[in-house]
């Protein structure tokens, strides 16, 4: 009886382990360079959605001012959405174009982006990039995006890095998870020719994509939601590890809690609604890319996979049923998480931060579990970082 109950979750974890191992193995290859690209350069709008970011947006605009891309071919546009501070004034004082939006009944980053896109797509921009208002951008960001679009990609996600990985034990643990997502998972998927998932920051779109497929997503995870909508319509998101944007992580549990629970809830809701339907649709229609992205949603929360492997290992050892199998899986997911530490780079200070990692890892597991309930999946609110 217990064997029959344990077998399905152990089988799922085994598939997840194989899936993650293959992606991790593929990530060891650099992304192939692209030859024979045209010399023409596209004209970009760089959209910065901002909600009460008076204290952070200046650094972002300074970073965007250092882009290597020709200045006549890109314009920075801040969308100040329902702001109660001086975000718009700071943006204009630093030379950015600012669109102010006031609509308390339709709040959120997704609504702000749709408003900005509707305005900018009526102009002569050929591509639109999105950068959050607390972000530092690699100088070659637009050059890399131009190269990607010129080679035929139409939707691209840059590597989404971290400004302060060594700030506190919490930022270190979160940065390790971010390195896993970027360097072991998305990079590997790119090398395997699989679709990526938009992450909200460092996104880039060919203008015709936004015209043909208007941005309708407005949930907490509007980026993933739009990725799935595009894939269903035959438009694949690509991952560009050759360039990056970097944003700060919250320094304490108090600062991180609301943001992480909100994201976990949003991702959990989207997974429940979309994962199995995508798998079924993909298998039925022969569009294996849809089935793949559905399974990708199921394995995206690495803390939940680790927690499930621990729980199953404990039950299997207690009942002496499939014990070796369960323990092997728990060992794999533990080593997989350690792989994120290696991907980030090892040092003596980071070894000290890692001593506190188990506590924060268990906190992330608890957050992921709370997310399954749909708790606090609400509106766009700025995360405190100081």
Range of the domain at 23: 2-27+268-372
Query: For residue range 138-149, what is the model confidence (pLDDT) as tens digits?
Result: 999 999 999 999
Do 152 and 223 share a structural domain?
Answer: yes
Do 246 and 224 share a structural domain?
Answer: yes
Structure token pair of residue 119: 């305005």
Do 109 and 228 share a structural domain?
Answer: yes
Task: Inform me whether the pLDDT recorded for 76 exceeds 80.
Answer: yes
How confident is the model over 1-5, as a mean pLDDT?
77
Do 337 and 225 share a structural domain?
Answer: no
Do 240 and 335 share a structural domain?
Answer: no
Outline where DSSP puts E strands in the chain: 44-50, 74-81, 97-101, 127-130, 136-137, 155-162, 203-206, 237-247
- The last residue of one of the domains, among 237, 259, 281, is 259
> Which residues lie closer than 8 Å to 264 by C-beta, 6 or more apart?
301, 367, 368, 370, 371, 372
Q: Is 124 a member of any domain?
A: yes
- The last residue of one of the domains, among 259, 277, 298, is 259
Q: Is 381 a member of any domain?
A: no
Q: Please report the sign of the dihedral spanned by the C-alpha atoms of residue 255, residue 334, residue 300, residue 179.
A: positive
Q: What is the pTM of this model?
A: 0.90
Do 296 and 253 share a structural domain?
Answer: no
- What pLDDT is stored for residue 379 in this prediction? 46
Structure token pair of residue 271: 């997974």
Query: For residue range 195-223, what is the model confidence (pLDDT) as tens digits?
Result: 999 999 999 999 999 999 999 876 667 88
Query: For residue range 149-160, what is the model confidence (pLDDT) as tens digits?
Result: 999 999 999 999
Do 53 and 9 share a structural domain?
Answer: no
Q: Is 255 a member of any domain?
A: yes
Do 278 and 221 share a structural domain?
Answer: no
Residue indicated by tokens 């643990």: 173
Task: Inform me whether the pLDDT recorded for 376 exceeds 60.
Answer: no
Q: What is the mean pLDDT of the chain?
A: 90
Query: For residue range 181-194, what is the model confidence (pLDDT) as tens digits?
Result: 999 999 999 999 99
Q: Please report the sign of the dihedral spanned by the C-alpha atoms of residue 120, residue 42, residue 131, residue 369.
A: positive
- Number of domains, the chain: 2
Task: Inform me whether the pLDDT recorded for 129 exceeds 60.
Answer: yes
Do 323 and 238 share a structural domain?
Answer: no
Do 207 and 110 share a structural domain?
Answer: yes
């Amino acid at each position: 009886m217990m064997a029959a109950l344990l077998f399905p979750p152990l089988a799922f974890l085994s598939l997840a382990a194989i899936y993650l191992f293959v992606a991790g193995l593929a990530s060891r290859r650099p992304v192939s360079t692209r030859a024979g690209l045209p010399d023409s350069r596209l004209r970009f709008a760089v959209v910065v959605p901002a909600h009460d970011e008076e204290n952070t947006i200046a650094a972002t605009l300074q970073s965007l001012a250092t882009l290597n891309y020709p200045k006549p071919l890109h314009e920075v546009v801040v969308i100040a959405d329902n702001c109660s501070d001086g975000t718009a004034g700071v943006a204009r004082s630093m030379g950015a174009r600012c669109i102010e939006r006031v609509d308390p009944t339709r709040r959120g980053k997704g609504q702000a982006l749709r408003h900005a896109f509707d305005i900018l797509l009526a102009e002569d921009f050929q591509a639109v990039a999105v950068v959050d208002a607390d972000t530092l951008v690699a100088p070659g960001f637009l050059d890399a995006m131009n190269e990607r679009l010129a080679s035929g990609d139409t939707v691209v996600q840059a590597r989404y890095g971290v400004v302060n990985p060594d700030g506190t034990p919490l930022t270190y643990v979160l940065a390790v998870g971010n390195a896993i997502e970027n360097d072991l998972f998305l990079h590997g998927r790119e090398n395997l020719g699989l679709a990526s998932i938009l992450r909200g920051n460092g996104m880039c779109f060919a203008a015709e994509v936004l015209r043909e497929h208007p941005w309708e997503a407005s949930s907490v995870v509007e980026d993933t939601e739009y990725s799935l909508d595009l894939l269903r319509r035959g438009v694949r998101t690509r991952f560009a590890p050759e360039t990056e944007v970097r944003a700060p992580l919250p320094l304490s549990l108090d600062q991180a809690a609301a943001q992480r629970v909100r994201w976990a809830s949003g991702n959990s809701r989207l997974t429940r609604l979309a994962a199995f339907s995508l798998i079924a649709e993909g298998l039925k229609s022969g569009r294996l890319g849809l089935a793949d992205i559905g399974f990708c949603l199921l394995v995206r929360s690495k803390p939940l996979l680790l927690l499930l492997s621990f729980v199953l290992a404990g039950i299997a050892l207690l009942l002496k049923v499939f014990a070796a199998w369960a323990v092997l899986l728990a060992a794999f997911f533990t080593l997989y998480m350690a792989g994120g530490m290696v991907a980030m780079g090892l040092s003596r200070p980071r070894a000290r931060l890692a001593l506190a990692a188990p506590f924060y890892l268990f906190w992330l597991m608890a957050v992921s579990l709370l997310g399954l309930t749909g708790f606090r999946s609400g509106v766009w609110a700025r995360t405190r970082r100081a």
